[in-house]
Amino acid sequence: MPAAVALVVFVGAVVVAAQADLEQRQLLATVVVGVGALVGFSGWVAVVWRVPAWTTVAEGLARAASTLTYPNAAAAVMAVAAVLSLVLKTSLLMNVMRFLLCAGIGATMSRAGVIALLVGLGVLAALHGVGETVRTAVPPLLGGAVAVAALLPTMRVAEEPRALLAVAGLLGGALVAVALPRLKKLLIPVAGVAVATAAATAFLFADRLATRVSFSSPDRSQAAEAAFDLVAQQPLVGTGPGNAIFFFVRGDEGTRVMRYVHNEYLQVLVELGVVGLVLVLAVIGAVLVRMWGGKRSTPLHAGAFAAVVVVLVHSGFDFLWHLPAVLIVAGLCAGLGFPSTRDGVEEGTATP
C-alpha cells in the first residue's frame, strides 16, 4: 500500500500542475517557494530555541528538521524550492524567501541537500543562463552563509544556545541577501566580507563539525553492503515492497538494524528487483523527456526541470520517496515543467 500510495501522490501532483495555465503555474510555483521558506524559518527557530519536535539531534548537533520528520527531507524540499525561486520575478518578499531557503538548508546540516542544490544550480545555469543564475543565486547564498555561521555555536547541544548571536546573524544575512543586488560597485567587496566572515566562523568550529564536512558515513556504507547481499538473493523481483530489513555489525556496538538504505534507487532494487528498478527508471525517463519539450518556452520550465533534478540527485542519498510531502513537491515541479499545446498559456490544455 505505501508504494502504491506514493505513486498515486506523485502522479496526482503532476496532473494538477500540468493542467494549469501559465498564470496559475506561476502562482503555484510561488506557493511552493513560500512553503519551503516557512520550512526553513521554522527549522531555524527550532534550532535556536531547541524545539524537540522540529529538530533532530545527531552527532552532537541540533539539526533543523521542521515538520518534515528529519533534516534531509527538509533540506530536499528547501533545495527544490530554492532552485525554483530563482526563475520567479524578483521582489523584496522573493529575496527574503530565497534567503530563508538557503539559511534553512544550512541549518539542516544536510550534505546531500547541499550537493543536490549545487547540481540543481548547475542545471539551471545550463538551461536559464549562467549570468542570470549567478546574479540571482549569489545574494541569498551569501546571506544564508552569514546566517548559518552565526547559528553554528548554537547547534552544538553540549553548549548553551546563543539566541542573540543567531538572531543577529539572521538579520545580517537577510540584509546581505536583500541589499547585495543593489550595491553594484560595492558588490564584490561586500560579498568578499560576507564570505570571509562565514569561512572564518566555519574554520573556528571545524573540529566540532568534522562529521558534516566529510563524505564518510559508516552506517550508510554498511547498510548498502547489506542491501547488495539481499539483491544477490533475489535479483529479479526483490524481497517485496516494505520487506527489506538491513542487518550489519558496527564495531563494538553490536548488530544494527535499518529499514531504509538511504538510497531510493538501491531501495527499489532490493524490494522490487531489477524489474522494478527498470520500470522506475523508465517512469523517471518519461517524465524528463516530457519536461524537456517545454523547458525553453519560459524560465519557469527551466526552474521546474532543475528542481526535479534536485530531487533525483538527493534521492541517491536518502529515502525521500517514502515521504508524501516530498513526492507532492516533486510532482508539482514536474507538472510545472510539462508543456501544453501552447506552452501552458491556455488553461486546461496540458496533459501529463
Q: Each residue of 282-291: b (16+ CB within 10 Å) or e?
A: eebeebbebb
If one compares 223 and 36, the residue with the highest pLDDT of the two is 36
Give residue 293's pLDDT. 74
What's the rounded mean pLDDT across residues 204-213? Answer: 55
What's the rounded mean pLDDT across residues 80-90? Answer: 96
C-alpha distances in Å from residue 309, one per residue of 19, 281, 286: 21, 13, 14
Spatial contact of 47 and 56, defined as CB atoms under 8 Å apart: no
Per-residue pLDDT of 131-152, as tens digits, reads 899 889 989 998 998 899 899 8
Give percent of the chain with pLDDT exceeding 70.
84
Give residue 169's pLDDT. 92
Helices (H), ranges, the chain: 2-18, 22-48, 71-85, 92-108, 111-128, 130-155, 163-183, 187-204, 218-233, 264-292, 299-314, 324-337
Per-residue pLDDT of 120-135, as tens digits, reads 999 999 999 998 998 8
Give residue 181's pLDDT. 77
- Round to whole Å and give the CA distance between 339 and 18: 8
pTM: 0.88
- Round to whole Å and give the CA distance between 337 and 264: 23
Give residue 223's pLDDT. 81
Q: Give how far the C-alpha of residue 312 lies from the chain's centroid of Cα atoms, to the nearest Å.
A: 10
